Amino acid sequence: SAVISQKPSRDICQRGTSLTIQCQVDSQVTMMFWYRQQPGQSLTLIATANQGSEATYESGFVIDKFPISRPNLTFSTLTVSNMSPEDSSIYLCSVGIIVSEQFFGPGTRLTVL
Partner 1 sequence: KQEVTQIPAALSVPEGENLVLNCSFTDSAIYNLQWFRQDPGKGLTSLLLIQSSQREQTSGRLNASLDKSSGRSTLYIAASQPGDSATYLCAVNGGGSNYKLTFGKGTLLTVNP
Sign of CA dihedral 85, 82, 8, 59: positive
Q: Is 107 among the residues that bind partner 1 (CB under 8 A)?
A: yes
Q: Is 76 among the residues that bind partner 1 (CB under 8 A)?
A: no
Q: Is 42 among the residues that bind partner 1 (CB under 8 A)?
A: yes
Select 16 or 26, whichever has its Cβ closest to partner 1: 26
Contact 45, 57 (CB under 8 A): no
Q: Is 92 among the residues that bind partner 1 (CB under 8 A)?
A: yes
The one segment of 21-29, 36-44, 67-75, 77-85 that binds partner 1 by CB under 8 A: 36-44
**Cis omega (within 30 of 0) for bond into 67:** no
Q: Is 73 among the residues that bind partner 1 (CB under 8 A)?
A: no
Residues that bind partner 1 in the complex, under the rule CB under 8 A: 1, 4, 31, 33, 41-45, 48, 56, 58, 90, 92, 94, 96, 99-107, 109
